Amino acid sequence: MKRKTISMLLAVPFLGLFLGACSQESAPTTSDTVVHDAEVAAAGTNDLMAKGKGVYLANCAACHQPTGVGLAGAFPPLAGSDYLQGNRKEVLAAALFGLEGPITVNGVEYNGVMPSLGHLPDEDLAAAITYVFGSWGNDLAAVSVEEVAALRAELGQTDRAAGQRHVGATEGELTYQGAPSAIPAGEARQVSTPGGPVLSEAEFTTATQLYFERCAGCHGVLRKGATGKALTPDITLEKGTEYLKALITYGSPAGMPNWGTSGEMTPEQIDIMARFLQQEPPMPPEFGMADMKATWDVLVAPQDRPSEPQHDRNIDNFFSVTLRDSGQVAIIDGDTKEIVSIVETGYAVHISRVSASGRYIFTIGRDALINMVDLYMDPPTTVAQIKVGLEARSVETSKYKGYEDKYAIAGSYWPPQYVIMDGDTLEPLKIVSTRGMTVDTQEYHPEPRVAAIVASHQHPDFIVNVKETGHILLVDYSDIENIAVTDIGAAKFLHDGGWDRSKRYFLTAANQSDKIAVVDSKERKLVALTDVTKTPHPGRGANLDDPEYGPVWVTSALGNANVSFLGTDPDGHPDNAWKTVRVIDGMGGGSLFVKSHPNSTNLWVDAPLNPDESISQSVAVFDVNNLDAGFETLPIAAWADLGEGPKRIVQPEYNMAGDEVWFSVWSGKEQESAIVVVDDKTRELKAVIKGPEMITPTGKFNVYNTLHDIY
């Protein structure tokens, strides 16, 4: 059957850069639940409606919302939809085969793609459509299982696997996530897929760069998926070029940025990328000790560096701000709000970490270039640098007593490995591969990327998250010639995390497994593996004193609006320890960071990857002492007073005193961006830092808070 060119009506998949798969469950509010339950009871088809509600929430609500209202400009409403009237067969056909192109709903034109839900059993499709037909003011006849089966047969769909599951995926995808793959040395090269679209050499080069910059972080260098779905040719060829173009253009509320409608990728780039994704992934080279030493450069030797600060600024309140698309970080004085230095770094610095002495900032770009910046110098300047791979995300320094500033460690996405370096010069000393077996099925994985790394406060250990295989490694650096590693099996797709306030327990998200792993760093063991809602993404998380449950650690999520609270006090509140004790709703899916401070009673939650501009350009703030009151929304982007652009609000970060919160207003490379400073007590605008130097600011790291793990 040839697809009719209409739009997303019942479900939307996920492709994406920063994170995760589609069809994330989005929980309805209490009031919504009451209304819907009343509708179900009155419908006369209780069983079908009740089943349909569950199918709808699991497959459709991420885009069309639990209340069926859709998202303005992106996903059409199902509530009170005039399109549902008189288009019964078309709606059923859309569920079976998917749809694409423009459609007018309630006088508004939408232009997008709906994937096939033909993989679902007939009874699930009948139930979901019946639920839509009988909810939110719609009053249409129920759909029978026989009606769906007859239409499936009439239209010639005999293989339900033609549609693809949003969760669990196809057998091919599941196999591919853990299958071995040869990674030959040498330059990355194009391998054409039989039956795939044509891609010129120039287009291949462009696509390789775009994929590295925008997509590899979630989908992997080999495109096997993790936070994002697998994007291998066995999957993408079935989808086709037009389908992939639409997904890249419009994004998903589950966490994929809308690269097209935000203006960050041109239609030509999107077309190239859609065709590139249907080819075999390029084969990248390895990167060993000789490669690292060839890039290693000590620009200012330790003996030539100043013995004390060469300025009178408060280093503890400096902020290291990633200027993503310019390959720089801005060092900003938190007291005066002045930019004191613009440092050339690797591309899209992911994090900044601070040495135990508080003197050095270590940055690592997505291109795996590490910069060691001396804050004593005027202005702060890079004194050493090294490239540790082709793609990376994590760097950390030794902090245990007696080892302050002695070592640094970096973990790579490609090749999958970590390297321990001299803490004064970045000389590479020891490289360790992370390739190995998954924790669950014990299958070999060739690309187990290194995600978060933190320095233990209990032992001379680096705690290393191995993403795809689900291993948490406690690397004892007391003798790097004879490294002892405690290998803790947790859950696959480990990502980011942080400490509880005692600095004993490390809580980290296994985001695509929907779990939080808790490691007792003193006893060197796993103490809990806690279920949370879809695709947690805490950053470092937030530590609070919950008025009812005591000390808790907080994470938000990519896949829904949920903000989850986990108890962290096994001594004082043992019944709550490592359990999800509270779940509240933020603005919507696509949240990357939560943040609080010991001197604050506020909890801040962003949602920069939600495609609804009213959400992505704002921030939610909760009163910790009155969580039941819900959140206040602050219009951060509007306060910045910028021109056109996506203006996503990302990563709240406190100053040293805990009385200011800094937000990045992240716009396009050629558009105006800013840092907005908010008074934590009054929740009012305090300052805006902008100018030509502020190019795509994203992550911000206060020196004092980062050094002392305060969040």
Task: Give the span between the Cα atoms of 63 and 68, in whole angstroms.
Answer: 9
All residues at 6 or more sequence positions from 64 whose CB lies less than 8 Å from its CB, including other chains: 10, 70, 71, 75, 76, 77, 78
| Residue 339 amino acid letter | I
Q: Which residues pair with 664 in a beta bridge?
A: 650, 675
- One-character DSSP codes across 56-75: HHHHTHHHH-TTS--BTTTB
Q: Given CA atoms 64, 237, 230, 51 in this order, what sign does their dihedral have?
A: positive
The answer, yes or no, to whether the previous bond of 379 is cis (omega within 30 of 0) is yes
Q: Which helix (H) or strand (E) holds 679?
A: strand 674-679
Q: Which helix (H) or strand (E) holds 210?
A: helix 201-214
Q: What share of the chain is helix, strand, coil (3-state, %, to 5)?
A: 25, 30, 45
Task: Give the span between the Cα atoms of 146 and 131, in whole angstroms.
Answer: 16
3-state SS, residue 693: coil
Contact 26, 254 (CB under 8 A): no
Catalytic site positions = 215, 218-219, 256, 495, 537
Contact 556, 605 (CB under 8 A): yes
Residue among 186, 418, 179, 180 at smallest CA distance from 284 = 186
Neighbours of 464 (CB within 10 A): 24
Residue 138, Ramachandran bin (φ over 0: left; ψ between -120 and 50: alpha; else beta): beta
Q: Which helix (H) or strand (E) holds 472?
A: strand 471-476
Q: Which residues pair with 663 in a beta bridge?
A: 676
3-state SS, residue 630: coil
Token digits for 106?
């309630």
Residue matched to tokens 């994330």: 24
Residues for the chain: how many in total? 711
Residue among 19, 1, 52, 34 at smallest CA distance from 155 = 1
Task: Give the span between the Cα atoms of 255 and 535, in whole angstroms.
Answer: 9
Q: Which helix (H) or strand (E) holds 25?
A: none
- One-character DSSP codes across 566-626: EE--TTT-GGGBTSEEEEEE-S-S----EE--TT--EEEE--TT-S-HHHHT-EEEEEGGG
Residue 327 DSSP code: T
Task: Give the span between the Cα atoms of 551 and 568, in whole angstroms.
Answer: 6
Task: Give the span between the Cα atoms of 310 and 434, in whole angstroms.
Answer: 41
All residues at 6 or more sequence positions from 58 whose CB lies less than 8 Å from its CB, including other chains: 23, 25, 166, 167
Contact 449, 413 (CB under 8 A): yes
Q: Which residues pair with 489 in a beta bridge?
A: 471
